């Protein structure tokens, strides 16, 4: 007889509670397995991810667990995410942080709430994305040039961290390439005077017609006078066979214009064996003379020391005067002239020599040997013109045809007017030499005192500047 408190044996037969639970469990497992196979073989429609059914598993108490209640636990479905192609960026969804005590179901629910892609990739796009990720296509030089607007050669050259300028064939530009002409906008200079300057000021600089042709020619003449002469000193003697024709005046005028226009040093030397007057026509005075320089020539080694022997006051022209005592001046001979000119050649670019009257005195030999060009001064009278022409004949007779061909004859009319036809004198000399100039009458020069360029008449100033330009052009002639 059975005990009333004993439990019936679980045989698992149908019709009993235990058997019903077992059958339910087996049925649910078969349904879940069938659903999984259908999900694997099903083709997801375009535009939507394949949906997986919820799978319910009943946990029976037939396992012998006394705590089992027979409740069914539902597992949340897992939705497959759409494949990510190479062209579309993937944005990670933010999952809200869960407390440490939250149950696993909360985490599963948060995962189901993540946004998913609603566009399913096609097979071609998926294949292209896989190829792009596995083996990216190289960017060719032409593609680089088309994308960034750069030359193909520049794209192909390896930069190695350097700027494109350093990849040039001729290398980077030097600092000398940064010139003012390249970096600054060129602005025309205002006119120097006349109605052109008035118009420029009246329009506040908006209308600039430039300078006249006359001003441009004068500017070109100044540039010629300032031309470089090379590395050695050039010697220019001023000659005359007759006194009183203005040889010293011409030497002073020529030296002042050269010194004021040029950037280098110019000196005029009085080489008259008798008492010269070059220091009387030039501004300034000096405590020493050419004779003193000859005595101290071995002690003069710098330009500062030489400056004590020359005069410069009110002009950039340096003047080396001769002795005022005629008896002492006779001692100045050819060797003394060579010694002085050897010192001057170290510090000056042009040396003008105010020669003595005549052609056979003691200093003339050294003067002509060192001469690079000569200036011959003639007066406006008949005898003065004849003596000047005979000087050219004397030079030719002594083998200095080179000096005659390059000589410059100056007809000096600054002392006064004459009844002689000056045009005929000029025509005669043009048949013998290359350059013939005339200095017109000037009241300031006729005084015979110190010469100041600012007091000259405009015509006289232009004639002297033309003389300076002619002399420099002869010095620069090969």
Residue span of the structural domain in which 192 resides: 187-225
In this prediction, residue 8 has a pLDDT band, given cuts at 50, 70 and 90, of very low
Q: Do 216 and 312 fall within a single domain?
A: no
C-alpha distances in Å from residue 461, one per residue of 218, 375, 438:
11, 18, 12
Q: Do 214 and 296 fall within a single domain?
A: no
Q: Do 325 and 383 fall within a single domain?
A: yes
Burial 241-265 (b: 16+ CB within 10 A, else e): bbeebbbbbbbbbbbbbbbbbbeeb
pLDDT at 6 > cutoff 50: no
Q: Do 337 and 442 fall within a single domain?
A: yes
**If you average pLDDT over every residue of the chain, what do you get?**
75
pLDDT of residue 241: 83
Q: Does 167 fall in a domain?
A: no
**Mean pLDDT of all residues in 359-386:** 89
pLDDT at 171 > cutoff 80: no
The torsion of the CA quartet 412, 414, 417, 418, rounded to 10 degrees, works out to -20
Distance CA(225)–CA(372), nearest Å, equals 16
Q: Do 339 and 467 fall within a single domain?
A: yes
pLDDT at 108 > cutoff 50: no
For residue 307 the two structure tokens come to 């400056």
Q: Do 314 and 287 fall within a single domain?
A: yes
Q: Does 314 fall in a domain?
A: yes
pLDDT at 100 > cutoff 80: no
Q: Does 10 fall in a domain?
A: no
Distance CA(48)–CA(25), nearest Å, equals 32
Distance CA(186)–CA(188), nearest Å, equals 7
List, as one string, the DSSP characters of 137-173.
Answer: PPPPHHHHHHHH---HHHHHS--TT--GGGGSTT-SP
pLDDT at 55 > cutoff 50: no
Q: Do 235 and 202 fall within a single domain?
A: no
Q: Do 280 and 428 fall within a single domain?
A: yes
Strands 408-412, 375-378: pairing kind: parallel
CATH code for position 346? 3.40.50.300
In this prediction, residue 313 has a pLDDT band, given cuts at 50, 70 and 90, of low
C-alpha distances in Å from residue 153, one per residue of 147, 164, 172, 203:
14, 11, 17, 51
Q: What percent of the chain lies above the pLDDT cut of 90? A: 33
Q: How many domains does the chain have?
A: 2
Q: Do 198 and 297 fall within a single domain?
A: no
> DSSP assignment, residue 309?
G
Q: What percent of the chain lies above the pLDDT cut of 70? A: 62
Q: Which of the listed residues 199, 225, 251 is the one where a domain comes to its end?
A: 225
| Burial degree of 202 (CB within 10 A; 0-12, 13-18, 19+) | exposed
pLDDT at 378 > cutoff 70: yes
Q: Does 144 fall in a domain?
A: no
Does the pTM exceed 0.75? no
**Mean pLDDT of all residues in 253-260:** 94
pLDDT for 200-246, tens place per residue? Answer: 999 998 898 888 888 899 999 999 999 999 889 999 999 988 878 88
Q: Does 449 fall in a domain?
A: yes
pLDDT of residue 228: 92
Highest mean pLDDT among 60-64, 180-184, 419-423: 419-423
Q: Does 150 fall in a domain?
A: no
| Contact in structure between 465 and 257 (CB atoms under 8 Å) | yes
Q: Which of the listed residues 200, 225, 250 is the one where a domain comes to its end?
A: 225
Q: Do 209 and 260 fall within a single domain?
A: no
Q: Does 27 fall in a domain?
A: no
Q: Does 79 fall in a domain?
A: no
List, as one string, the DSSP characters of 429-475.
Answer: HHTT-SEEEEEPP-HHHHT-S---GGGS-HHHHHHHHHHHHHHHHHH
3-state secondary structure of 412: strand
Q: Do 385 and 458 fall within a single domain?
A: yes
Q: Do 316 and 405 fall within a single domain?
A: yes
């Amino acid at each position: 007889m059975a005990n009333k408190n004993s439990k019936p044996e679980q045989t698992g037969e149908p019709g009993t509670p235990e058997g019903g639970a077992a059958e339910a469990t087996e049925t649910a497992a078969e349904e879940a397995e069938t659903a999984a196979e259908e999900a694997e073989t099903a083709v997801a429609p375009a535009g939507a991810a394949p949906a997986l059914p919820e799978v319910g598993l009943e946990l029976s108490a037939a396992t012998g667990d006394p705590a089992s209640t027979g409740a069914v636990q539902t597992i949340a479905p897992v939705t497959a995410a759409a494949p990510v192609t190479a062209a579309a960026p993937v944005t990670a969804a933010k999952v809200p942080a869960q407390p440490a005590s939250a149950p696993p179901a909360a985490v599963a629910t948060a995962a189901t709430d993540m946004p998913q892609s609603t566009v399913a990739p096609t097979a071609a796009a998926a294949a292209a994305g896989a190829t792009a990720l596995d083996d990216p296509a190289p960017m060719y030089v032409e593609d680089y040039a088309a994308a960034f607007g750069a030359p193909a050669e520049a794209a192909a050259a390896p930069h190695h961290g350097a700027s494109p300028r350093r990849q040039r064939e001729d290398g980077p530009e030097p600092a000398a390439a940064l010139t003012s002409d390249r970096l600054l906008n060129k602005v025309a200079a205002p006119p120097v005077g006349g109605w052109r300057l008035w118009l420029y000021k009246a329009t506040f600089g908006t209308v600039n017609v430039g300078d006249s042709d006359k001003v441009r020619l004068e500017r070109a003449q100044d540039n010629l006078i300032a031309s470089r002469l090379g590395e050695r000193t050039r010697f220019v003697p001023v000659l005359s066979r007759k006194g009183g024709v203005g040889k010293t005046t011409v030497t002073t005028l020529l030296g002042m214009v050269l010194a004021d226009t040029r950037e280098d040093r110019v000196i005029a030397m009085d080489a008259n064996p008798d008492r010269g007057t070059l220091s009387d026509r030039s501004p300034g005075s000096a405590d020493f003379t050419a004779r003193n320089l000859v005595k101290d020539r071995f002690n003069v080694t710098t330009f500062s020391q030489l400056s004590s022997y020359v005069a410069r006051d009110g002009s950039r022209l340096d003047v080396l005067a001769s002795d005022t005592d005629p008896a002492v001046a006779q001692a100045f001979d050819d060797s003394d002239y060579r010694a002085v000119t050897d010192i001057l050649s170290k510090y000056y670019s042009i040396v003008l020599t105010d020669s003595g009257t005549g052609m056979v005195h003691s200093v003339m030999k050294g003067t002509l040997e060192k001469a690079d060009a000569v200036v011959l001064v003639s007066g406006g009278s008949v005898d003065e013109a004849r003596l000047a022409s005979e000087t050219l004949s004397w030079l030719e007779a002594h083998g200095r045809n080179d000096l005659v061909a390059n000589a410059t004859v100056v007809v000096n009319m600054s002392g006064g007017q004459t009844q002689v036809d000056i045009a005929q004198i000029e025509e005669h000399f043009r048949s013998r030499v290359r350059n013939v100039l005339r200095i017109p009458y000037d009241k300031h020069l006729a005084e015979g005192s110190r010469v100041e360029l600012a007091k000259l008449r405009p015509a006289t100033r232009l004639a002297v500047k033309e003389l300076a330009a002619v002399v420099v052009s002869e010095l620069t002639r090969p």
